[in-house]
Amino acid sequence: MSTQLENLEPKALWQHFAALNAVPRPSKKEERVIKFIQDFGNSQGFDTITDEVGNVIIRKPASPGMEDRQTVVLQSHLDMVHQKNADTDFDFNSQGIEMYVDGDWVRAKGTTLGADNGIGVATMMALLTSRDIAHPPLECLFTIDEETGMTGAMGLKGGLLKGSILLNLDTEDDRELTIGCAGGVDVTATGSYNQEKIPFDFEGYRISLTGLTGGHSGMDIHLGRANANKLMNRILYQATHKLNARVYSIDGGSLRNAIPRESFAEIAIPEINMPVFEQFMEKQAEILKAEYALTDPHLQLQAEVIDLPSAAISYDFQNQVLRALYACPNGIYRMSPAIEGLVQTSNNLARVLVKDGTYTVQCLTRSSVDTEKFDLAQAIQSTFELAGASVTQKGSYPGWTPNPDATIVKTMSTLYRELFQETPHVNACHAGLECGILGTNYPNMEMISFGPNITGAHSPDEKVQISSVQKFWNFLLETLKQIPAAEPVASKA
């Protein structure tokens, strides 16, 4: 465990967070972290079960005097987004996250931190190991694969959970009580293309667009940050039309739920146009740095000479794919007319890979209105079908309809005002939370989501605020004390 974290408060929470972060836990490869949680639950002597998809449930009886209270489900996801800076030498499959304290924040060295949703997981572990915290009966639900499809929540069957209240610990602003979220669907375009040899009087270049801020494609989509895939396409489109450039490959973005931070392309320029190309690149760098000076201050655009690759994208397909990428919607599509400041519908052009005769384009389309989500997804599908791609829509998950009149919402809102002398923001978010999915099999369960301040989620800039974790922890403990008694079961005549 990092010596910088061992004395942070609450100690049990940070100790469990450090232990968790020593376990590699990428989405869809959670075998090690599932075993870690299973071993943890069994070592504590609690009822520990694992369902058929890999979700783990650990049950803890109520503390003395609270046996009559309603059972509370605490829920967080085990997987984390794996992102690192290009110059960081790190293997997510074998290394634990390297953490350090930076003032009032905990950060990672060149990688994502895993506070999303590791702080929630560690919080649940701290409650399970506590001996002096007052709490009602607890069911701690550790779901898998939240970040790449929410298949854990989707696979959780009805009847496994007995609780009537669910506290989701996956929100990233300690002033917010989230009571609704967006749904999403993955739109993926794939296909093949012909390649052509390029004359020898061309020069090869590798274009690198790096240093963008990136971030969460739901929570940060309204901040106007640059999308590396859109900017690279803009550069390539102009280079092909102004300088007769030929494209060999494009490789941009990584994860569907992360705003792309980097993109790389290999191209060829006629030797006669090389001086003009270098001037063109300098001008493009100047333009992009000016446009994104506030949101992406570390943006870098560079071109280096490389050996001329053997074959380029055919001329016809080059025109088709660059036009399709240009036309693909990205960012905010519509703001909510009902909730001020809430993004209702958006798209993230997350991944572009064009290489060696095949191509893949991945988008994550989000909306709190399912019909609008599928309408935008169909518009994206149509765009790429016009370019000859095969397009699928998969992994759709529902949004979570707000219920501001739920008892737990009123209880926690009142308690927040009493504890912190301010009114919380009770709202919905544009991220995908598992509550909407869980609610399909547990429609009568009251739900709310909250958490500490986490910034830069899904990027190597991710950090969690130490003082905010303390605030969140105390708020949770006081909330557990306020859980009302369970309704008496009617006796049979």
Judge whether 445 and 70 are in contact, CB under 8 Å: no
Distance separating alpha carbons of residues 221 and 204, to the nearest angstrom: 35
Which of 139, 140, 94, 99 lies closest to 17, judged by CA? Answer: 99
pTM: 0.75
């450090």: which residue's tokens? 18
User: What one-character DSSP code corresponds to residue 272?
Assistant: G
Residue 86: the pLDDT is 82
Pick left, alpha or beta for residue 475 (phi over 0 → left; psi -120 to 50 → alpha; otherwise beta).
alpha
Residues 415-426: tens digit of each pLDDT: 999 999 999 999
Q: Which amino acid is at 455?
A: T
Q: CATH says 11-181+400-481 is which class?
A: alpha beta
Distance separating alpha carbons of residues 210 and 262, to the nearest angstrom: 5
Look at residue 432 and give its three-state secondary structure.
coil
Pull the structure tokens for residue 235.
Answer: 């550069």
Residues 279-304: tens digit of each pLDDT: 999 999 999 999 999 999 999 999 99
Residue 401: the pLDDT is 85
Distance separating alpha carbons of residues 483 and 166, to the nearest angstrom: 11
Cα 85–Cα 86–Cα 87 angle in degrees, nearest 5? 90
Domain boundaries, the chain: 11-181+400-481, 185-397
Instruction: Give the residue ranges of the chain where pLDDT is below 50.
Output: 1, 491-493
Residue 491: the pLDDT is 46
* Fold of the domain built from segment(s) 185-397: Alpha-Beta Plaits (3.30.70)
Q: Which residues are marked as active site?
A: 79, 146
Instruction: Determine which helix (DSSP H) or strand (DSSP E) holds 473, and give its type and residue range.
Output: helix 466-481
Q: Please give the span between the terminal C-alpha atoms of the chain, in angstroms, as a whole number.
A: 59
Spatial neighbors of 400 by CB under 8 A, at least 6 apart, are: 179, 180, 181, 428, 433, 435, 436, 439, 447
Judge whether 219 and 458 are in contact, CB under 8 Å: no
Give CA 278 to chain center in angstroms: 37
Residue 3: the pLDDT is 59
- The pLDDT mean for the chain works out to 95
Task: Give the count of beta carbons closer than 10 Å to the beta carbon of residue 172.
Answer: 27
